Copies of this chain bind each other. A is one copy, B any other.
Amino acid sequence: MAAEKESDWSGFFSGCVPPPNADSSARAMAEFAERHSAQGRRVVLVTSGGTKVPLESRTVRFLDNFSSGWRGAGSAEYFLELGYAVVFLHRHRSLSPFSRRYSGLNLLDALKAVPVAETTRWRVEADQAALPGIVPVLQRYTAVREAGLLLPVEFSTLSDYLYLLRAAAQALSPSGPKAMFYLAAAVSDFFIPASEMPEHKIQSGASPLQLTMQMVPKMLAPLVKDWAPHAFVTSFKLETDSSQLVARARKALATYRHQVVVANTLETRRVYVVIVTEDSQIDLALSENEVKQQQEIEEKIVQHLSECHTNFIEKSKSPE
């Protein structure tokens, strides 16, 4: 598989409508990256969640990928802990850093209205038993917000994601090797071009339904080559068949020539990954004891990658 020609992805963009937040988010990301770079901080783009691919132009039906966003949201927290500024490019309604721990909860089950003595007013209090660890989580979240270290940017469809990814790459590119891309979103490989899409809801009379999906151009190619050529780029590879995992990771590295592939399988992804680079392959796993203590594999991934990133920055200062 050869790297895609420029026409593939530029053709993709010319057939799509930019998302409503395209301009404002591009400005916000550029300002964010510039400010933190000026302060000597590393900046990471974390992508998270699945992408929607419409099957109709007035969309009722779409193709989707499995992804709660747990990995991306958790990783963003660990990057913040290590001093990174984080652009969090995430699917609408996927999990967010910090609040991810409370996502299964009905808000109303965790609150109660308490009358304020000698007034007609009510105080609304949270039940801390329903929100485990809420006080330290709130304190960390508030500190991050007040320091302006986290910039959330939202997408929903595949084309929104690709627009915003390009804008993010252009925003982080001036940070050179101190920028990292951590592409954990589960991006669709297939789409239906706007020109081939029916306008109205597909009628159910015409059985069976035949769908022909085209390949999405791999944006890793222009990202590494043109949009942010000096950055440290990590992609993710999720497979269900573990026998093909490392071979497919190596093939991606050879094709796109970026720094790292984090390879994982659907069933073991919460406890085991392989960090694959051009000349190394390192297993990261949680022990049974670590699982019991609710440690997360994302902490190990982020710790490891930040060390790789340090080496990458050093190396780029003194080219051999």
Contact = CB atoms under 8 A, between A and B. Distances in A.
Interface string A53-77: 0011011111111100000000000
Contact of A139 (B62, B113, B214, B241): B113
A42 to B, nearest CB: 24
Interface stretch (A30-38, A100-108, A295-303): A100-108
Contact of A66 (B62, B93, B138, B240): B62
Nearest to A126: B124
Of A63, A98, A123, A202, most buried by chain B (CB within 10 Å of CB) is: A63
Given A108-B99, A141-B108, A214-B207, A134 B124 contact: yes
A137 interface: yes
A126 B142 CA distance: 14
A99 to B, nearest CB: 5
A3 interface: no
Of A56, A93, A190, A205, most buried by chain B (CB within 10 Å of CB) is: A190
Given A59-B66, A60-B66, 10 more contacts: A58-B240, A62-B63, A124-B138, A125-B125, A201-B239, A209-B214, A209-B215, A210-B212, A210-B213, A211-B212
Contact of A211 (B98, B105, B134, B210): B210
Nearest to A210: B212
Count of chain copies? 2
A204 interface: yes
Contacts of A241: 200-201
Contacts of A211: 209-213
A209 B238 contact: no
Interface residues of A, number: 64
Contact of A63 (B64, B128, B142, B200): B64
B113 A201 contact: no
A93 B68 CA distance: 10
Contacts of A135: 113, 122, 124
Interface in A106-156: 106-108, 111-113, 122-126, 128, 131, 134-135, 137-139, 141-142
The 8 residue pairs across chains A and B that have the minimum distance between CB atoms: A189-B204, A124-B126, A207-B215, A209-B213, A211-B211, A58-B240, A64-B64, A108-B141
